[in-house]
Amino acid sequence: MKKTVIVFLILTGLSTWQMKTFLTPLQYNMPTDAFDASYRDTLKVADVIEAIPSSTKASPNTSSNTPPKPPNIIVILADDLGWGDIGVQGSRAIETPNIDELAQAGARLTDFYSSAPICSPSRAGLLTGRYPLRTGFANVLGAADDTFIRKAMMNLSVGFSKLGLSDMAGGVPSIKGLPVSEITIPEALKEKGYSTLGIGKWHLGDFTHFPEFHPSNQGFDHFYGYNMSNDDWPVALWRDDKELIKDIGIDQANHTREFTEETVKYIHQWQDKPYFIYMAHKDPHQPFFPSKEFAGKSKGGPYGDAVAEFDWSIGQVIQALRDTGQLENTIVIVTSDNGPWYEGTTGGMRGRKGQSYEGGFRVPFIAAWPGNIPSGKVSNVPAMNIDLFPSFMSLAGLTLPTDRVIDGVDLMPLLMDKNKIQDRPLYFFHEYDVEAVRQGQWKYISHNSHYVWPIPLDKNDLVSGKAANSRDYYPEGSKVGIPTLGVWPLLYDLHLDREEGYNVAKLYPEQTKSLGQQLKQWQADFMQNPRGWKQ
């Protein structure tokens, strides 16, 4: 009897241990204490960012010298908009006249990337100028009171990923929201007197349950929008510190118009000092609920309807700037948080949302500023949304924070056609894993899913991928095998092959080796100081 009990306990313990191992997210030895509270949580922005003394110039209407007014800054962010979903980049099913007109009036960067192929991390990168892993975001945040079934499926997906059945081995982020130690664009710009407005989707902390992650604690004077994504259960609608609707459910049809009207209202109100507006639309993230004015009007179906209404919103913002005489003193940027998900087009590029292929990371980017950014400028210089933070600091006359690494660079010389930016590597993350690097025309991928997310199959850093690739056939006496699935690593010449269809790693072995070593070194340096703090 005792032996039976002992055996039962041992088997139960082993089963529990196996299940725990099965459900434990892969975090690639990320230090668990990297996001613990520290003195930086209470650090004042003014302690690490300074205003650069601006030169004065004579005003044409007065005899006094007055400092020039910094430009207004408006970032209009789409949600899951594909690179090929706009007319100027080849869309045939969807018409985007306002985006196309803005591109003709300003600059278009054809090789622009989000800092992550999924929502929350990409937004963290945009607002902080730092690779999302430095902020703790490796995956998307779920609603704090999500349904039991969805939470259970999220936990099980970690194990399923290790079997090659899904692609979420990193699990949910270990943080509940954007750490207060991070400095965002609006926090920094307020040091130069900017008014700040957040519109639309936040998704950087469910502030319905964790008030410390409310946008007002990250530099926004006003906020109107969602705490989470429009397909979370539940997602609430807020105006400033008041919850207007506890759960919007499917009643979303009027929100794009409301977000636009709120933005236009503040454009009319704020004419006496500079402002920053972060307009993060719900469109065209599924589910697609355009207003009745756009429903059924696009040849791209409901997705196309949502893109068309997003385009309309941009037109309303530009018109408001014209009506108030602010167009010449406002830089407007249109981009997306990542590539398309189930619908939309990458413009023929490989992969989609969630992948390190071009289709997951490469997104539309248009910047217009009459009289400063040349009209009709098109550039294929690689850039990323982490570059917006240093660009806006430059525009506002502010130094970069002295106590932390800022991974982005100032894009204004490139956009204003004054100088090229220095060639530098750009890194691509999948959850906690650094998978790829691009420098110049070359893109190196150490490991990735050859198939559209969420089916990893031959991703060779997972148990499933290793098992599949272990079936490679080696003829007797040969060290060269016949691959069962993928061949790694991958090297692509994006100037010739943006579709990533031809692996030229064997053709350019030195380039492959150099980029591989560069990626490993960056990851090693990152692990030594994941937050990028400076002493």
Q: Which residues are catalytic?
A: 119, 203
Which residues contact residue 42 at a Cβ distance below 8 angstroms, ignoring those fewer than 6 apart?
A: none
Measured distance CA(216)–CA(401) in Å, rounded = 20
Burial track 390-427 (b if 16+ CB lie within 10 A, e otherwise): bbbbbbbbbebbeebbbbbbbbbebbeeeeebeeeebb
Q: How far apart are CA 304 and CA 298, in angstroms?
A: 5
Burial of 27 (0-12, 13-18, 19+ CB in 10 A): middle
Question: What distance in Å separates the CA atoms of residue 135 and residue 162, rounded to the nearest whole number?
Answer: 25
Neighbours of 240 (CB within 10 A): 14
Query: Where do we find the tokens 């349950």?
Result: 209
Buried b (16+ CB within 10 A) or exposed e, 141-172: bbbbebeeeeeeebeebbbbbbebebbbbbbb
Beta pairing, strands 107-109 & 365-368: antiparallel
d(CA 377, CA 237): 38
Cβ atoms within 10 Å, residue 18: 10
Token pair 């691009």 in the structure block, residue: 438
| Residue closest to 520 by CA, chosen among 479, 489, 486 | 489
What is the DSSP secondary-structure string of 268-313?
A: HH--SS-EEEEEE--TTSSS----TTTTT-STTHHHHHHHHHHHHH
Q: Give per-residue burial for 114-124: e unless 16+ CB within 10 Å, then b.
A: bbbbbbbbbbb
Q: What is the DSSP string of 191-211?
A: GGT-EEEEEEE--SB-TTT-G
Residue 154, helix vs strand vs coil: helix
Q: Helix, strand or coil for residue 335?
A: strand
Strand ranges (E), 402-470: 426-430, 433-439, 442-445
